[in-house]
Amino acid sequence: MRRREFVGTALTTSAGLFLPRRSWIRGDSSRASSVLIPMDDAQDEHLKAYGLAFRALEYGDRGEWCLNYRNGSFLLPASDAVLRDAALAGVTVERVDDAAVIAIRGEIQGSNMDAIPLEKVPKVAVYAPPDAAPWDDAVTMVLNYAGIQFQRVWDPEVMASGLVAFDWLHLHHEDFTGQYSKFAITSAGAPWLQAMIQLHQHTAAQLGFANTPELKRAVAQRIAAFVERGGFLFAMCTATETLDLALASEGVDIAAAYADGTPMDPLASSKMHWEKALAFRDAQLELSPSLAVFSDIDGHQVNSPDRQPLGAFDLFNFSAKIDPVATMLVQNHRQVIPDFYGLTSSFRRTRLKADVVILADEPAAPWVKYVHGEHGRGTWTFFGGHDPEDPQHAIGNAPTDLSLHPHSPGYRLILNNVLFPAAKKKELKT
């Protein structure tokens, strides 16, 4: 379902959401039939609360995401499974009776809020090579911490099935231009880099491609087709910038400079096909083979002499009744969030396509942090940076211990995206 179709459906059905659901009442109607999962500062485990909502759907329960109500709280049935799960996870819950539920819905109905039904269990995939460390991807770490099941896929699976079995796909720091994130410039001779190159080259040959760049471009095209068919894509770090570079580079060799150390074709930027990209346009490719930079899309240019300091980014406020999709993606208990680096940390405003929705930016800066858009019947969301709780992340750093960051606002943005497909309306069967 496309974003604008979701908005239309939500607006035409929201009035019915505020009627009491008698199916939620178990036993004596005077007892609490529902639980409110607060997502403001009353919550002891913000991140695990998403896992609780996700698993409630797996139990067969329905729920509601109360957008802009107590920072994006959840309303779930007070089933034994939900209550037991909440206790084990340490998630704060507030038991509410039918009168309290009606009062909550009345407050939501008369304000800049909305309640979106959660009724679909998304099938979640994380794109990562088989040798990827489980702590080297912020999304993998937070999915594990929250207790949300997912399946890892990589190039053979993407090329074989085109991701038809999944609703949601995450990409992190994979370099879809096939240049191995230009790590040979910063980490030449490292054993882990040699192993990475060998794995990618072997996979490309096994799948019938002449080299890694050709394979990665084909994989990028399969991922774009997944979105076009209605899939939900969430990408961070290098994957954001390089996915679009790969999509726009059909017929353009943008990896040659890295392969043999010669300067790139000075006309390569003008030969790109930006109509094939999801988010970006008119980017200038980095021509020097000695800089670990892909293009001028990233505003922070972390591996160049023009590296910019970190600040903080502000989440935009959206009307839940007018634009529930954007509202879901920014639900948080903090409005201002400290920034963090990645190989791609941010996105220059001048490189965004006109229809891209900006979800968060650094005020007065020439870059933004968090963007969203449509492609075909599906949607994509790009979030700059590598790890929201490791602002200066470097190779070999100790993994982030999320038990020390249960209220992380940056990690909440990731989990908003994971739960977003659960709100997708079910299509009527004929």
Chain CA centroid to CA 231, Å: 12
Judge contact between 303 and 179, C-beta under 8 A: no
Whole-prediction pTM: 0.91
Scored b (16 or more CB within 10 A) or e, 395-413 reads eeeeebebeebbebbbbbb
The pLDDT of residue 14 is 40
Residue 26 sits in which domain range?
3-118
β-pair type (168-171, 232-236): parallel
Looking at 59-170, list the stretches that DSSP marks H as alpha helix, in order from N- to C-terminal side. 80-89, 98-109, 138-146, 155-161
The pLDDT of residue 21 is 33
**66: closest CA among 360, 418, 327?**
327
Residue 430 placed within a domain = no
- The residue out of 67, 97, 118 marking a domain boundary is 118
The pLDDT of residue 10 is 43
Say if residue 313 is in the same domain as residue 368.
Answer: yes
From CA 47, how far away is CA 202, in angstroms rounded? 38
From CA 140, how far away is CA 425, in angstroms rounded? 26
The pLDDT of residue 186 is 80
The pLDDT of residue 263 is 67
Q: Which long-range contacts (CB under 8 A, 24 or more apart) does 186-190 make?
A: 186/292, 186/303, 187/395
Residue 428 placed within a domain = no
280: DSSP letter: B
Say if residue 112 is in the same domain as residue 137.
Answer: no
Residue 380 placed within a domain = yes
Q: What are the structure tokens assigned to 307, written together?
A: 């590296």
Say if residue 56 is in the same domain as residue 198.
Answer: no
- The residue out of 101, 118, 135 marking a domain boundary is 118
In 158-231, at which residue ranges do the beta strands (DSSP E only) sit? 168-171
Say if residue 108 is in the same domain as residue 170.
Answer: no
Say if residue 264 is in the same domain as residue 165.
Answer: yes
Say if residue 139 is in the same domain as residue 106.
Answer: no
Say if residue 11 is in the same domain as residue 106.
Answer: yes
**234: closest CA among 223, 219, 246?**
223
Q: What are the structure tokens assigned to 225, written together?
A: 């087709």
The pLDDT of residue 393 is 74
The pLDDT of residue 37 is 98
The pLDDT of residue 27 is 31
From CA 60, how far away is CA 286, in angstroms rounded? 51
Q: What are the structure tokens assigned to 327, written together?
A: 């509202």
**158: closest CA among 135, 131, 128?**
128
The pLDDT of residue 254 is 86
The pLDDT of residue 258 is 62
Q: Residue 363 sits in a domain of what CATH number?
A: 3.40.50.880
Residue 429 placed within a domain = no
From CA 328, how far away is CA 173, in angstroms rounded? 24
Say if residue 267 is in the same domain as residue 330.
Answer: yes
In the chain, the number of structural domains is: 2
Residue 407 placed within a domain = yes
In 101-206, at which residue ranges do the beta strands (DSSP E only) sit? 114-118, 124-127, 151-153, 168-171
Spans of the chain below 50 pLDDT: 1, 3-4, 7-30, 426-430
Say if residue 288 is in the same domain as residue 361.
Answer: yes
**278: closest CA among 212, 330, 343, 231?**
231
The pLDDT of residue 256 is 66
Q: Which long-range contacts (CB under 8 A, 24 or more apart) does 368-375 make?
A: 368/313, 369/313, 369/339, 370/313, 370/315, 370/329, 370/330, 370/413, 371/279, 371/347, 372/325, 372/326, 372/329, 373/278, 373/279, 374/2, 374/3, 374/4, 375/224, 375/227, 375/228, 375/278
Residue 169 placed within a domain = yes
- The residue out of 90, 118, 146 marking a domain boundary is 118
The pLDDT of residue 255 is 82
β-pair type (94-96, 34-37): antiparallel
Say if residue 90 is in the same domain as residue 217.
Answer: no
Say if residue 172 is in the same domain as residue 227.
Answer: yes
Say if residue 134 is in the same domain as residue 74.
Answer: no
